[in-house]
A and B are shown apart, each in its own frame.
Chain A
Amino acid sequence: MAKQAAVEMKNITKRFGSKVVANKNVSLKAYRSEILSILGENGSGKTTLMNMIAGIYFPDEGQIFIDGQEAVIASPKDAFSYKVGMIHQHFKLVDVFTATENIVLGINDGKYNLKESTKKIKEICDKYGFEIDPDKKIYTMSVSEKQTVEIIKVLYRGADILILDEPTAVLTPQETSKLFDVLRRMRDDGKCIIIITHKLHEVMALSDRVSVLRKGEYVGSVNTAETSQEELTEMMVGKKVDLNINRSQPKDIVERLVVEDLSCVDRQGTTVLDKVSFTANAGEILGIAGIAGSGQRELLEAIAGLQKNIDGNIFYNDPNTGNKEDLIGKSPVEIRNLGVRLSFVPEDRLGMGLVANMDITDNMMLRSYSKGKTMFLERKPPKNLAEKIIDELDVVTPGVSTPVRRLSGGNVQKILVGREISSIPTILMAAYPVRGLDINSSYLIYNLLNEQKENGVAVIFVGEDLDVLLELCDRILVIGSGVVTGVVDARTATKEQVGLLMTKSKEEIAGDANE
């Protein structure tokens, strides 16, 4: 007799509107004592599919079976009654509560005994090897600790089918391997673990089996031991993809931007950047690595003139005049008026780089609308630029008058990067430019950045995928809690080395300095 699947999905279809088919006729199985990876590019319908097991969405067609019995899962509460728990990408925790309080929150069993709950939580921790203080408040926790709380939360409710949505996106390499150990222990305990991911090396390292989705459709499942990264990529993209980034040796290196002792205090009065010093060279890609929220955003915004309460120096060496300008404390307009051609692809594409409800032409105009002497807008040049970018970067859009919110993530990013590059910058800053993009778009962006570097632009690239940072950049600046913890040569450094620098504490750095 064949093994009974813990979860079986049969012919699941989910549509959003009549055109968007998030999942089409997907059938797959997950077993107990197994880690199954759901692999697919962004937008391939992985999360939507899993959300239907977790009761967030309801399938339009098809059936879900849990342990061989048909299940109707219309809400997360239903999901828990089938012992299904999902850990979402965005944590849903109450900041001012402790771990225990968050874990028991919403369990309505008539008793509220925190002591007993804490004991039960400790048992779960011991069993699987979690390290957490149940009495710690959420707002004092690191991202990885918060994730642990989320996992314990579903275990506490008795889940034995666990779905994790991109659990490593926010973790350092060390934290990731810890998480993987825990997941393996849970598998050995007989649980069914499903992780959603688009990172191939994680799939290879962790899972027993892989199911691949492409554009909402089920491509196939393979045993991890019998496959390779190349084969999986081909399944994911539908064709062979060259996964190499063409990194050229930098030439004609000139110091373009010299940052000295840059400090920044945010609105709450917390120091988010503490005496950051580095140099960005023309003709080089400088990578910036660090755990999410370590000050990357503030650093780029400070250079772009968008941060208040900053201190230190930001020197710009003008290639045309040879002048040295200090950009500290200047507004974006003042920086532009100095002749500094600074382009910035911010992390928040639709909330900062672009206006979601405006069409492509009007978004092209953001940088240039004030040109011209009349009080009226000139829509012809931005329209031409929009057409040029759509043509050159293969943007998929019905036309130039389509609001950018209707474009897919990859196309939105092409529009933004295209606009920023079109001003022929001398400095190009890009924060997480491939986040949420499919493989082809990602490599297109890497190539664009490389092209800019070869044109003599000083490129600053904030990334989260260490493999990419090591492959793309020339040097990598690592920051942790707003402090520079090291600068490494990307050609020789290892992932572990960068990972260690990312988690280095302030005290350790101070210690290093004293030696």
Chain B
Amino acid sequence: MSSISATKHHKEPLVHIVKRDEMKIWQAWLVRVAAIVLALLLVGFISMALTKEDFFTIYETMYKGAFGRLGSGSTVMLWNFLQKTAILLGLSLAVTPAFKMKFWNCGAEGQALMGGLASMICMIELGDKLSYPVLLLVILLTSILAGAIWGVIPAIFKAQYNTNETLFTLMMNYIATQIIKYYLYIEGGGSNKINPVDEGNLPIIFDNKYALNVLIVLVLTVLVYVYLNYSKQGYEITVVGESKNTARYIGINVKKVIIRTMIISGAICGIIGMLLVSGTDHSIDTNTVGGQGFTAIMVSWLGQFNPFIMILMSALVIFINLGTGKMADTCGLNSSFADIAVGIVIFFVVGCEFFIHYSVRFRHQRKEAKV
């Protein structure tokens, strides 16, 4: 009996974690919205502590940073917000088929850069040789092709030799950046930069140079949604992503699906590259995509691979980024504050999934058995 008295000190653990039932969809969304609100509040409080501004000023500044001054009538800031959201959303759409297939495409950055480079080359080399509509078509096709090639190379190696696609796509990013550097060196003369080119720019609709970009990305959103959910190829992507064994069992050619999906993923990146170069900057440098290719991975997962949820998620990320960026600017904080704020929000959004699937119980909740 001595061993038992020696273990008497065991107590029931203070908290333990219990899996809960599947929540209703609206409840789950309520939790997610609550998490975002809490995250925004936390960001606000941290900003207050750092800047000594009052509560409302903080949020007003954030709003201003994203959408411009309230009631000013100017839509410049709003369009800027929409453009940034569209680009992030576009890249997220691009990586989504790959991630749904559990192919870690971390190369959206490079694929978009290569698409952009293709646009740039066409604009410079063919700008005065082709008629405007033909030029636009050539720009579109070459961008798609360039992005697709950059995407399919890791896919071929993955399919044939089962190489690690994460490392491979990351390496392809570095190669793309170096190629851009080299192109800037030969094309930009001594300055290592290219002045905006006037030929081959995307047309301006609704009197706004960003409107077409936003429209194209919206069309892509619908297309990707339909492709993933209603097409046979989308179905194959789901099956391969969920279980390669099942795919083999029903006779899906897994290699073919991997390669085909990465062509599509890369092609969409190529289009976004074109929107950035031919549709926005009319020039290119190594920072044209600006790391959005990586943020896109996050948006894709946060949106649970649903293009429509991804609209909200990319808007949220851009809002925080612009808003806190502005605050950092006006209050003299370090510009990295925007990244920290985005990090906080994402931590909350991801973290709330835990509370959707599990609940935490405390010791006193356990009823004593009647003896």
- Give A contacts to B, CB under 8 Å: 10-12, 15-20, 58-63, 66-67, 69, 71-74, 78, 81-83, 304-306, 331-333, 336, 344, 346, 348, 351-358, 362, 365-367, 369-370, 375-377, 406
> Which residues of the other chain, A, contact B251 by a CB distance below 8 angstroms?
305, 331-333, 336
| Range of interface residues on B (Cβ < 8 Å) | 35 or more
Complex A-B: 15 CB contacts under 8 Å: A18-B21, A58-B12, A59-B366, A61-B366, A69-B4, A73-B10, A352-B245, A352-B249, A355-B238, A355-B239, A355-B242, A358-B242, A366-B250, A369-B232, A376-B231
> Which residues of the other chain, A, contact B233 by a CB distance below 8 angstroms?
375
B7, B248, B251 — most chain A CB neighbours (10 Å): B251
Assembly CA distance A66 to B367 (angstroms): 20
Q: Which chain B residue lies CB-closest to A11?
A: B369
> Which residues of the other chain, B, contact A69 by a CB distance below 8 angstroms?
1, 4
B246 near A: Cβ within 8 Å? yes
> Which residues of the other chain, B, contact A18 by a CB distance below 8 angstroms?
20-21
A18-B20, A66-B4, A353-B249 are known contacts; what are 14 more A-B pairs with Cβ within 8 Å?
Answer: A17-B18, A17-B20, A62-B369, A67-B4, A69-B1, A78-B10, A351-B246, A352-B243, A352-B245, A358-B242, A366-B239, A369-B235, A375-B232, A406-B22
> Which residues of the other chain, A, contact B371 by a CB distance below 8 angstroms?
10, 63
A376 in contact with B249 given A63-B369, A72-B10, A362-B235 (CB within 8 Å) = no
A377 in contact with B231 given A18-B21, A61-B366, A63-B369 (CB within 8 Å) = yes
> Which residues of the other chain, B, contact A357 by a CB distance below 8 angstroms?
242
> Which residues of the other chain, A, contact B21 by a CB distance below 8 angstroms?
17-20
4 tightest CB-CB pairs across the interface, nearest first? Answer: A332-B251, A17-B21, A11-B369, A333-B251
Q: Which chain B residue lies CB-closest to A78?
A: B10
> Which residues of the other chain, B, contact A351 by a CB distance below 8 angstroms?
243, 245-246
Interface readout for B243-278 with A: 1 if CB under 8 Å, 0 if not? 101101111010000000000000000000000000
A63, A82, A377 — most chain B CB neighbours (10 Å): A377
B24 near A: Cβ within 8 Å? no
Whether the Cβ atoms of A67 and B1 lie closer than 8 Å is yes
> Which residues of the other chain, B, contact A11 by a CB distance below 8 angstroms?
369-370
B364 near A: Cβ within 8 Å? no
> Which residues of the other chain, A, contact B12 by a CB distance below 8 angstroms?
58, 72, 74
Whether the Cβ atoms of A332 and B231 lie closer than 8 Å is no
B332 near A: Cβ within 8 Å? no
A82 in contact with B4 given A17-B19, A351-B243 (CB within 8 Å) = yes
Q: How many A-B residue pairs have CB under 8 A?
A: 113
Q: Which chain A residue lies CB-closest to B359?
A: A17
Whether the Cβ atoms of B246 and A366 lie closer than 8 Å is yes
A61 in contact with B369 given A19-B21, A355-B239, A375-B232 (CB within 8 Å) = yes
B161 near A: Cβ within 8 Å? no
Assembly CA distance A10 to B370 (angstroms): 8
A306 in contact with B249 given A355-B239, A369-B235, A376-B231 (CB within 8 Å) = yes
Whether the Cβ atoms of B3 and A82 lie closer than 8 Å is yes
> Which residues of the other chain, B, contact A67 by a CB distance below 8 angstroms?
1, 4
B230 near A: Cβ within 8 Å? yes
Assembly CA distance A218 to B335 (angstroms): 64
Smallest beta-carbon distance A69→chain B, Å: 5
CB contact list, B7-28 vs A, under 8 A = 7, 10-13, 16, 18-22
Assembly CA distance A17 to B21 (angstroms): 5
A332 in contact with B238 given A16-B18, A72-B12 (CB within 8 Å) = no
> Which residues of the other chain, A, contact B370 by a CB distance below 8 angstroms?
11
Q: Which chain A residue lies CB-closest to B22?
A: A406
> Which residues of the other chain, A, contact B70 by a CB distance below 8 angstroms?
none
A10, A331, A375 — most chain B CB neighbours (10 Å): A375
B1, B231, B233, B243 — most chain A CB neighbours (10 Å): B243
> Which residues of the other chain, A, contact B13 by a CB distance below 8 angstroms?
58, 74
Smallest beta-carbon distance A296→chain B, Å: 16
> Which residues of the other chain, B, contact A304 by a CB distance below 8 angstroms?
249
B6 near A: Cβ within 8 Å? yes
Assembly CA distance A58 to B18 (angstroms): 10
Assembly CA distance A73 to B12 (angstroms): 8
Whether the Cβ atoms of B11 and A72 lie closer than 8 Å is yes
Contact of B7 (CB < 8 Å), options: A81, A336, A370, A406 = A81
Q: Which chain B residue lies CB-closest to A83?
A: B3
> Which residues of the other chain, A, contact B6 by a CB distance below 8 angstroms?
81
> Which residues of the other chain, A, contact B232 by a CB distance below 8 angstroms?
369-370, 375-377
Assembly CA distance A515 to B345 (angstroms): 77
Smallest beta-carbon distance A183→chain B, Å: 23
Contact of B249 (CB < 8 Å), options: A15, A73, A346, A356 = A346
Whether the Cβ atoms of B231 and A10 lie closer than 8 Å is no
> Which residues of the other chain, A, contact B239 by a CB distance below 8 angstroms?
355, 358, 366
Assembly CA distance A67 to B21 (angstroms): 36
Smallest beta-carbon distance A474→chain B, Å: 27
> Which residues of the other chain, B, contact A356 by a CB distance below 8 angstroms?
242-243
Interface readout for B345-370 with A: 1 if CB under 8 Å, 0 if not? 00000000000000001000011111
Assembly CA distance A72 to B369 (angstroms): 13
Whether the Cβ atoms of B369 and A348 lie closer than 8 Å is no
Whether the Cβ atoms of B3 and A81 lie closer than 8 Å is yes
